[in-house]
Structure 1
Amino acid sequence: MNALNDLLVFLDGLLGSSWWFPYVLLGVGVFFTIYLKFPQIRYFKHAWLVVTGKYDKKGAEGDTSHFQALSTALSGTVGTGNIGGVALALSIGGPAALFWMWMTAFFGMTTKFVEVTMSHKYRVKVEDGTMAGGPMYYMDRRLNMKWLAVAFAIATVISSFGTGSLPQINNIAVSMESSFGIERIVTGGVLAVALALVILGGIKRIAYVTSRIVPAMSIIYVVGALGVITYNIENLLPSFVSVFADAFTGSAATGGFIGAAFAYAFTKGVNRGLFSNEAGQGSAPIAHAAAKADEPVSEGMVSILEPFIDTIIICTLTGMVILSSGAWHDKFENDFQRSDMSILDGQYLESSEENMNSLYLYLNGEKSEVSKFDGELHIVEGKATAADPDFTIINSRSIAENVTFLLPGEHLYNGKLKVINGALKNDEIIVRGDSLIHSAALTTEAFTKGYFGEYGKYIVTIGLLLFAFSTAIAWSYYGDRAMTYLLGARSVMPYRVIYCAGFAWAAVADTSFIWTLAAVAIVVMTLPNLLGIMLLRKEMKETVNDYWVKFDKEHGENKDK
């Protein structure tokens, strides 16, 4: 697993975490925002009216209503990215990461408008009588680029696991174990069965379930978040200021947080923004293609609301909870995951400015004198001995304290431990101590620092359960539409079985490994879609103009003017 994680980290370095990917993603959004004259602002009110059904037409082809399509797409985007993803971005990039999540959402509103419109325009009715659409259909039917369509469909199947299934159950299981002491394998098994009961019913059952889960989970989560923010109201303004102040400089060291360079804040903010709202990834168009609508542009306008609700509202609430509570730079006792932990040669202290500067350079990928430890540790009653050479354990990009080495069953370890290139070679050893934390665990701790006290963690657990489970439901549909395109309707049932099995497995998998897989899966799906919509830029503008001409004739006024 460590070797596979290292491979994924390498691929992520070439793709999502590279210097060029955030510029490509934001660049496409900026281009269409200017090219289409800021549709995310001009059409915002009209989008709400479309969702309410004001302009619905009887007899329009499709399987779901506008609201159900929006709910399904939102259930696919509002998930662990809003709870664990924001926390991960802030733990790595500091407050500045939230600013770049906002930018990704604002320009992503236009990107999603374009991809949904074009995908809806070229949707088809498949052999089982349901509608199928998505970027693979406009790539095939309009661009005549079968190879690109196949590549995108394969990437969608991969991403349905990497984005939609595995991270969701992993975060649910971790949260359920933390809050209620339920074994992760039990959570995975029970929810895998529940997932199967929903997705085997197809898009109509999926739409029915998600249209009820999404509003309920949003209310629960918002109430809990406001309980923390209002409790720490004196920190709210400084938190907002830090987001903007650090946006172009990176975040300085604070508490246990060693600091993050601009490149880290920018890259992680854009990546987590993409994971959260999926604008440009090409996933939401698959759900919207099932909507009952004769006008592709009207469905595209509905999709404008997704990044706004998902990132501008829900992710901001999560970010303010974490920042105002101070949890993002506090250390908590936790079990160190191997992919988060590194053992360094020499002793580094937070009280030493020189030490902190060296670690800052090292953790931000810059030239540094810091090196990884090679050798043996001598452990007595779970603790390193004075005879050991100087070493420092880094976990979650912070200096670990009060470290204890344990055997399964909570037994203190005694003996020697081999370390090669900073990695502990004995996989059965549990390493426990105080360090920064990330993902859902960080959000859970932040929610306890409000009016609800320790009960706040249950709000996160319930919210995460609903968020993540609904995301897994929606992504199963994206995957089965991709399988339908690739191999036909008969391939859907085997896919669903494997999807549910993978869902159960991921409950006990390494969290950092899952997030790295998600980061790679997102990019391999996003790049073909961005290329496709750029090639259709002129047709997009013409389609929008035609929509308003028809709208004028039917309703007597142009809502765009």
Structure 2
Amino acid sequence: MESLNQFLLLLDSLLGSAAYFPYVLLCVGAFFTIYLKFPQLRYFRSSWQCLFRRSQENTPGDTSHFQALTTALSGTVGTGNIGGVGLAIYLGGPAALFWMWMTAFVGMATKYVEVTLSHKYRVQTADGSFAGGPMYYMDRKLNMRWLAIIFAIAAVVSAFGIGAMPQINNIAQAMQATFALQPAVTGGVLAILLALVIIGGIQRIAKVTAKIVPFMAALYIIGGLAVATYQADNILPSLQAIVSGVFTGSAAVGGFLGASFAFAFSRGVNRGLFSNEAGAGSSPIAHASAKTTQPVDEGKVALLEPFIDTIILCTITGLVILSSNVWHQKHQNKFAYSDTYVLSQKYVENDAKDKQQLFAWLNQQNSEVELYSGKLQVENGVLVNDSVTLIHARSIAEAVTFSNPSGQLYSGEIEVKAGKITPNHVDINGLSLIHSTALTAKAFNQGWFGDWGQYIVTFSILLFAFSTSISWSYYGDRAMVYLFGNGSVIYFRISYILGFFVAAIADTTLIWNLAAVAVAFMTLPNLFAILLLHKDIKQTQQKSEQKVN
């Protein structure tokens, strides 16, 4: 398993986490923004009009415009809007949020293109339902069935790796941490609810998401604004911090040791894609079900996705985190071995030279920092070695204690190899930065609701993650129809529900890494395909505009 995990990490480093990947995403979005004359601006008003326009009863399709959008949004609005923003700010500082905005802006054009093409080349299947997505325009228009097969297989894998397993794992952990509810109970109850929804097909899925998405978005926005207005004096400085570091990176402040431009850029774009999935080819599968004979109309509706998902919801999260100042403060927490390093020198946070060296090391630049190898001596829970530095969550750890799982202070030796503590039975606790969902939850506690703010985050994770699981089941469903026909759907749904339940009580690290690779195998072929079809989309757009005029 460890060998497979390392192989997946290697593939991811060559694909989704590679230096070129964010540039490809932005460049494709920028190209269509200019080539199609800024559709995200020209069609923004008409997008809302299309969204609430009622379709005629005899119009081909399975869902309304609104239902198609909420189904797609339920797939994109997920833990990335809560924990993903916290991770981006933790890695890249406030400037990372700006690059999330830029990804969303150009992503609106990308989403418009891929959805319009998906709807144009959709098909009606044997059971009367509609199926669409990148695999259909790759096959029917480009005659690249081999590319369509790669995309469809990656979509099925991603359905498990994004939609089912990590989502329920996040829900189960949040429910256990907040309400002491056993993961097996959470997984069992939600697996039954998931089955009741997805077995009904796209029409039941669309009806459920049309009710869940507006409610969960309103809940999160109201909760976020309650925190941000409590810290109203910090909103303007937070916005200034976002903009000031756009091309220089984010400066060090508090326990945050700073982030370079490259780090802020790559993390912002990466988290932006994870949040709104523009270019990944997933949302077009949902939009292909919409009742309309005008593909461009559905493309207009789809460009609202990145706006709602990233520019509204992610900004709410970002402002909550930044205005509360918790993002650069150290908090008591249990250290994760994966986030912990031991350096073979004593570094002091208020020493300018030490801070510069750590900045370079954390941002993968040339530095004199050396990783420690050897044994750590611990007595009564306290580290005896005074010539090493513990780094946790990209910050210098303080007030560190070592204990047994039972809570007794530990005494003995701990082995370290190349800066990494060998996993053992010892728990490490102390003060350090925190990130992801834990950071967002901490920020929500700083508002009018006090410590009740964390329950907004927990309940939002429940709704966001569960709705994501619903939508991704449909994406995998349609990919299976393309690959093996309608008869394969029942087997996929059973496997999906079982995987959903098992992941509530299992480690999903491997499936996360597998999904990261699979999403790249969706995104890169899809971007390649829509670039080849740039003339097609322009002609389709021009014909639509002529009809309007």
Instruction: Report if TM-score (shorter chain) is over 0.5.
Output: yes
Contact 2:132 2:285 in 1 (8 A): yes
Report the CA distance between 1:510 and its aligned residue. 5.8
Matched, 1:374 2:397: no
Shift of 1:508: 4.9
1:537 equivalent to 2:534? Answer: yes
Amino acid in the other structure paired with 1:25: L
Aligned-partner Cα distance in 2 for 1:256–1:190 = 41
Q: Once the 2 structures are TM-superposed, how far is the Cα of residue 81 of structure 1 from its aligned partner?
A: 1.0
Hey, which bits of structure 1, 4+ residues long, moved more than 6 A?
511-514
2:28 is aligned with 1:28:
yes
Q: Counterpart of 2:17? A: 17
| CA deviations over 1:367-403 (Å, ceiling 9, x no partner) | 111122211223333332x2x3632222221112222
Choose 496-505 or 250-259, whichever is displaced more. Answer: 496-505
Measure the CA separation in 1 of the matches of 2:454 and 2:327: 15
How big is the shift at 1:14?
Answer: 2.0
1:466 equivalent in structure 2: 463
* Aligned match of 1:45: 45
The more displaced of 368-377 and 179-188 is 179-188
Query: Counterpart of 1:164?
Result: 163
* CA deviation vs aligned residue, 1:145-190 (integer Å, no higher than 9, x gap): 0111011111111222232233322332333233223344443343
* 2:483 counterpart SS class: helix
The runs of 5 or more residues in structure 1 that have no matched partner are 552-557
1:53-202 correspondence runs (5 A)? 53-54=53-54, 56-202=55-201
Matched, 1:332 2:331: yes
Summarize the alignment of residues 154-553 of structure 1 with structure 2, pairs less than 5 Å apart: 154-384=153-383, 386=384, 388=385, 390-508=387-505, 516-551=513-548
Deviation at 1:2, TM superposition (A): 5.8
Quote the Cα distance in structure 2 between the aligned partners of 1:484 and 1:408: 48
Look up the SS of the partner of 1:343 in the other structure.
strand
Coordinate RMSD, CA, aligned: 1.9
User: Would you say the 8 A contact 2:68–2:290 is kept in 1?
Assistant: yes
Structure 1 residue 98: Cα displacement: 0.4
Question: How far off its partner does 1:58 sit?
Answer: 3.1
Name the amino acid aligned to 1:181.
Answer: A
Shift of 1:488: 1.9
In structure 2, list runs of 5 or more residues that go unmatched: none
Identity %: 58
User: Aligned with 2:303: secondary structure?
Assistant: helix
Partners of 2:152 and 2:378 lie apart in 1 by 51
- Residue 30 of structure 1 aligns to a residue in which SS? helix
Question: Structure 1 residues 406, 494: closer, same or farther in 2, change over 3 A?
Answer: farther
Given the superposition, is the C-alpha separation of residues 100 and 304 from structure 1 closer, same or farther in structure 2, using an over 3 Å criterion?
same
Length-normalised TM-score, structure 1: 0.94
Write the deviation string for residues 20-58 of structure 1: whole angstroms up to 9, x where unpaired.
11111010111111111111111111111111115x333
> Which amino acid in the other structure matches residue 482 of structure 2?
Y
AA aligned to 1:500 is I
CA deviation map 1:273-328 (0-9, x unaligned):
01111111100000001111111111111101111111111111110000000111
Mean Cα deviation higher: 465-474 or 173-182:
173-182
Secondary structure at the counterpart of residue 251 of structure 1? coil
Answer whether contact 2:163 2:472 (CA < 8 A) is retained.
yes
Rounded to whole Å, the distance in 1 between the matches of 2:467 and 2:94 is 28
Does the C-alpha gap of structure 1 residues 430 and 197 become closer, same or farther in structure 2, counting only changes over 3 Å? farther
- What does the per-residue CA deviation read over 1:423-455, in whole Å, with 9 as the maximum and x for residues that have no partner? 222344322222111111110000001111000
The DSSP-based 3-state class of the residue aligned with 1:32 is helix
Moved more, 82-91 or 156-165: 156-165
AA in 1 matched with 2:148? A
SS in 2 for 1:250: coil
Cα distance change on mapping 1:343 and 1:174 into 2, 3 Å: farther
CA drift of 1:501 comes to 3.2
Q: CA deviation at 1:346?
A: 2.1
